[in-house]
Amino acid sequence: MQKINTQAEWIDRARAVLPAAGFGNFDAGIVIARGEGSHVWDEDGNEYIDYLIGSGPMLLGHGHEEVMEAVLEQLPKGMTFFANNAQGIALAEEIVDAVPCCEQVRFVTSGGEADMYAIRLARAYTGKTKILKFEGGYHGMSAEAQMSLAPARAVNFPTAVPDSAGIPQSVADEMLIAPFNDLEAVASLLSEHDDIAAIIAEPLQRIIPAAPGFLQGLRDLCDKHGVLLIFDEIVTGFRLAYGGAQERYGVTPDICTLGKIIGGGFPLAALGASAEIMAHFDKAHVGAEKWLMQLGTLSGNPVAAAAGLKTMEILRRPGQYDRLRALGQSLMDMQSAALSEAGIAHQICGDPTLFDIFFTAHEVKDYRSAKHLDPQDNAIWNASLRDDGIFKSPGKLYPSLALTEADLQQTKQAFSSAAVALANSKPVNA
């Protein structure tokens, strides 16, 4: 086989066999060759400080020695069985010990799959059909989740707008959409509809924090109306705190979904709830009519479970979350200082463990307010950072525990350069 030496050649090959030349996840104009610690390299050998970290899972960095040892110990014993295995059972035990709402869990392979089953589980348990979600909330790729994730047009609430082709109107009819951080709107919908099975929410919606009292308000409204509360903790689980957003914010949902970090960089996710709710996965317990069928070839994969177990063990060590938050806060402060010095209106939005910038002077509280005054500002900012060796999503920055002081200093300089580039792009006042 002819040796491929350049990134451009890989991109040409991708165009022939992949729609839009990519996997659908990230910029198809870059092909990553390898990662180590807090850095990644593309196929041309360009080195970057990695603030994408696989869209969140690599909290310890790439190729962490102890995680690698755990994986290499498991590999000769078997890669997958489609049957119970000790690593998966042990991982379930650790999740139950860590996450307040979980008495039992079920494993799946992806976060979107976990969210899909969480919605189905809520319907099975309550016997109701409608789901309330928040505009701009991301819950995977199921038909329900692809409602009002990123609507291009503003419609009146609670109308659901499909974000994808191929979704029938009947799905939209079972979805109610509310603005994030608006308890009054939620209360109104719960009073008007008696067929709502659950509210599904990201406790930190993308990077938009819940307003003080909002999550507890959701909990109280759900209790009042007999509705289940689902927290999508695919991103926040084991990131905001060891026990996730539930621990960080002190609000316990009825069902939660987990992913990313619990697989240690391998495909693994889960959903969890009380034993009473999770009983719907047990046909012998609830009977055929109330049984929720769930299976997956790679669910509870022992290699992923081994990586997740070791990752969680490391995260339990003293000081890990204090350090993660300190790193994140430093990065937030660096960005704000650089932009303020350049006279650029901005807001740093999120949590020190996950955040980014909105180039606006307005308060960011929900999907409709989470807008750049000029979207080109964000493009210029991110392009400048990429040129200076910073690898990140256009809308998120994930700190990792692998970051070094040298990484922070390089990043600080890149922020300063990006702020100057953004200031220079502005027209000079006459």
For Cα atoms 342, 346, 348, give the angle at the middle one, nearest 5 degrees.
Answer: 120
Residue 116: closest CA among 244, 255, 221, 223: 255
Q: Which of 128, 130, 133, 260 is catalytic?
A: 260
> Residue 268: how many CB atoms within 10 A of its CB?
30
Q: Is 138 a catalytic residue?
A: yes
Say if CB 115 and CB 146 are below 8 A apart.
Answer: no
- Report the distance separating Cα 92 and Cα 77, nearest Å: 20
Note if the bond before 158 is cis, omega within 30 degrees.
yes
* Burial group, residue 11, by CB count within 10 angstroms (0-12, 13-18, 19+): middle
Residues linked to residue 230 through DSSP beta bridges, in sequence order: 200, 255
C-alpha pair distances (Å), 77 with each of 82, 86, 302, 306: 14, 11, 9, 12
Q: Hey, what long-range contacts does 80-84 have (CB within 8 A, 24 or more apart)? A: 80/297, 80/298, 80/301, 80/302, 80/303, 81/302, 82/297, 84/300
Q: Which of 115, 182, 232, 351 is catalytic?
A: 232
Task: Tell me the HSE value of 315 on the side-chain side, using a 13 A CA sphere.
Answer: 29
- Report the distance separating Cα 301 and Cα 74, nearest Å: 11
Helices 320-341 & 405-424 angle (0-180, nearest 10): 30
Q: Is 412 a catalytic residue?
A: no
Non-local CB neighbours of 170 within 8 Å, separated by 6+ positions: none
Q: Which of 117, 125, 138, 367 is catalytic?
A: 138
> Residue 320: how many CB atoms within 10 A of its CB?
15
- Report the distance separating Cα 249 and Cα 93, nearest Å: 23
> Residue 87: how many CB atoms within 10 A of its CB?
21
Q: Is 351 a catalytic residue?
A: no
- Residues designated catalytic: 138, 232, 260
